[in-house]
């Protein structure tokens, strides 16, 4: 049970927030370096675009699967040890990828290993942040996730500059060294909340009860609703994120202008994280999430109503704010519903479902375009998926609180 003075004490771990933002920025920046290196690598090696792009697909799948494992492990040994392992693996994956002598070696190093390394910075650190904050929890989580949004505006331009001066192998080698230089010091500031640590039972008790409690959590109504909403939300926005540049080119926009639509979405997503986080701290995460999902659905289908750059920018701002702002709120809902001692595993499992949703949108969008020669059904389908996510989120149960304001270890079916 938390005393009235406990909440202000919990809300002081801003160094964790800063470290989480740095780690997320570097990890996602490293993963998306391939988008910049794709052309130069293909020209230098003769490896196919499809084969190189498959490394990105493997990275996302690896992030989803490994995220669940990292989350479970962080519940056992703490987030700092997991973040340290991820930092070491992140630089190593880049170095190994830079030395790859075949496409398969590159896919394993960049896709499997780098994806697994990047996943170490999400569920464990978001869980630690959620447990470390009470009054400003949503803002803190949103600031951690903002690091992901900053990556395309920081590391990607650096990689573009490097590849203009060096070959792709040297560029990846520098990225690996930079990843170590930035993430290893940041790991020092990753630590669990003292209040959460104080409430943890003796290690023997946790070891005896944690597996059963985790299994019960994953069967609970709260997790089923959370996971399905997260899956539908990601399926709703992944298709438009991936295909809107192609759709804009089909509307007659030049490639250079169409690409800026994606950048506008990313920039708006940063603002959305801060706005939605602040609103959720005031009005609650659930109503803000439902409203954001509804706006995301309407914004997705609104792309069909525009064909000029200014119209695309207007929709991209609303769409980017909506999907960027809603993403951190799932962690806040999970924090209300589940014991902090298993929160890493819960968020890892939810992230696995969200990764599947992210993988679904682009491939279905491509299939619909190939079949109908138009992106109309992609955007209509994205709207329907977004509305479904909002409807599912409405069913998230209210988390009862124990007397005195302490969070219950909620694992009810």
205, containing H or E segment: helix 203-218
Over residues 371-391, mean pLDDT: 94
Whole-number pLDDT of residue 205: 36
Average pLDDT of the chain is 84
Over residues 72-87, mean pLDDT: 92
SS3 content of the chain, % helix, strand, coil (to 5): 85, 0, 15
Residue 339 CB-density burial (10 A; 0-12 exposed, 13-18 middle, 19+ buried): buried
Give the architecture-level CATH label for domain 1-190.
Up-down Bundle (1.20)
Residue 326 near residue 293 (C-beta atoms within 8 A) = yes
Residues 6+ apart with CB under 8 A from 401: 407, 408
Over residues 288-314, mean pLDDT: 96
3 state DSSP class of 401: strand
Whole-number pLDDT of residue 11: 58
Whole-number pLDDT of residue 45: 92
| Tens of pLDDT, residues 222-271 | 999 999 999 999 999 988 887 887 888 889 988 778 777 877 887 888 88
Whole-number pLDDT of residue 23: 94
pTM for the model: 0.75
Residue 329: which of 404, 396, 408 has the closest Cα? 396
Cα→Cα distances 31→179, 246, 250, Å: 11, 22, 28
Whole-number pLDDT of residue 193: 57
CATH placement of domain 206-395: 1.20.1250.20
Residue 411 near residue 339 (C-beta atoms within 8 A) = yes
Whole-number pLDDT of residue 224: 94
In this prediction, residue 409 has a pLDDT band, given cuts at 50, 70 and 90, of very low
3 state DSSP class of 100: coil
Residue 123: which of 338, 411, 270, 291 has the closest Cα? 338
Start-to-end CA distance of the chain, whole Å, equals 23
Task: Using the predicted structure, report yes or no on whether residue 120 has a pLDDT greater than 90.
Answer: yes
pLDDT more than 90, % of the chain: 42
Residues 6+ apart with CB under 8 A from 99: 169
Over residues 135-139, mean pLDDT: 82
Kindly list the domain boundaries of the chain, sorted by start residue: 1-190, 206-395
Do 1-190 and 206-395 come out as alike in CATH topology?
yes
In this prediction, residue 405 has a pLDDT band, given cuts at 50, 70 and 90, of very low
Over residues 62-83, mean pLDDT: 90
CB atoms within 10 A of CB 3: 11
Higher pLDDT, 145 or 6: 145
Least confident stretch, 185-199, 316-330, 361-375, 398-412: 398-412
Q: What is the CA radius of gyration of the chain?
A: 21
Q: What is d(CA 354, CA 314) in angstroms, rounded to the nearest whole number?
A: 27
Over residues 63-78, mean pLDDT: 89
3 state DSSP class of 407: strand
Whole-number pLDDT of residue 4: 44
Task: Using the predicted structure, report yes or no on whether residue 342 has a pLDDT greater than 70.
Answer: yes
Whole-number pLDDT of residue 399: 55
Whole-number pLDDT of residue 410: 43
Residue 50 near residue 174 (C-beta atoms within 8 A) = no
Tell me the torsion sign for CA atoms 302, 363, 72, 220.
positive
Q: What is d(CA 395, CA 364) in angstroms, rounded to the nearest whole number?
A: 27
Over residues 381-404, mean pLDDT: 82
């Amino acid at each position: 049970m938390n005393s009235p003075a406990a909440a202000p004490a919990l809300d002081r771990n801003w160094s964790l927030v800063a470290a989480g933002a740095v780690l997320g920025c570097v990890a996602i920046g490293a993963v998306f370096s391939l988008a910049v290196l794709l052309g130069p690598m293909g020209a230098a090696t003769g490896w196919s675009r499809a084969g190189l792009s498959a490394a990105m697909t493997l990275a996302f799948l690896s992030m989803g699967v490994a995220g669940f494992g990292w989350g479970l492990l962080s519940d056992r040994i703490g987030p700092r040890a997991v973040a340290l392992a991820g930092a070491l693996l992140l630089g190593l994956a880049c170095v190994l990828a830079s030395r790859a002598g075949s496409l398969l070696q590159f896919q394993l190093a960049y896709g499997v290993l780098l994806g697994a390394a990047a996943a170490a910075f999400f569920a464990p650190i978001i869980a630690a942040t959620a447990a470390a904050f009470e009054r400003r929890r949503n803002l803190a989580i949103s600031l951690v996730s903002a690091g992901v949004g900053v990556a395309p505006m920081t590391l990607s331009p650096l990689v573009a500059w490097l590849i203009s001066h060096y070959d792709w192998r040297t560029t990846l080698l520098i990225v690996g060294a930079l990843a170590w230089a930035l993430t290893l010091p940041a790991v020092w500031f990753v630590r669990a909340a003292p209040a959460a640590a104080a409430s943890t039972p003796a290690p023997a008790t946790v070891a005896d009860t944690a597996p059963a409690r985790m299994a019960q959590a994953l069967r609970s109504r709260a997790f089923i609703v959370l996971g399905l909403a997260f899956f539908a939300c990601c399926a709703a926005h992944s298709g438009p994120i991936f295909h809107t540049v192609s759709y804009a080119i089909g509307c007659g926009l030049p490639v250079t202008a169409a690409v800026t639509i994606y950048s506008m979405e990313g920039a708006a997503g940063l603002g959305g994280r801060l706005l939605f986080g602040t609103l959720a701290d005031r009005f609650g995460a659930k109503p803000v999430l439902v409203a954001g999902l509804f706006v995301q659905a309407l914004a997705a289908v609104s792309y069909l109503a525009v064909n000029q750059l200014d119209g695309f920018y207007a929709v991209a701002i609303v769409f980017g704010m909506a999907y960027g702002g809603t993403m951190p709120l799932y962690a806040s809902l999970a924090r209300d519903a589940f014991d902090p001692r298993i929160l890493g595993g819960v968020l890892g499992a939810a992230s696995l479902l969200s990764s599947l949703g992210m993988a679904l949108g682009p491939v279905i969008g491509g299939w619909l375009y190939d079949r109908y020669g138009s992106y109309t059904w992609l955007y209509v389908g994205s709207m329907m998926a977004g509305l479904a996510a909002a409807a599912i989120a409405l069913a998230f149960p209210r988390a009862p609180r124990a007397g005195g304001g302490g969070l219950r270890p909620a694992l009810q079916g």
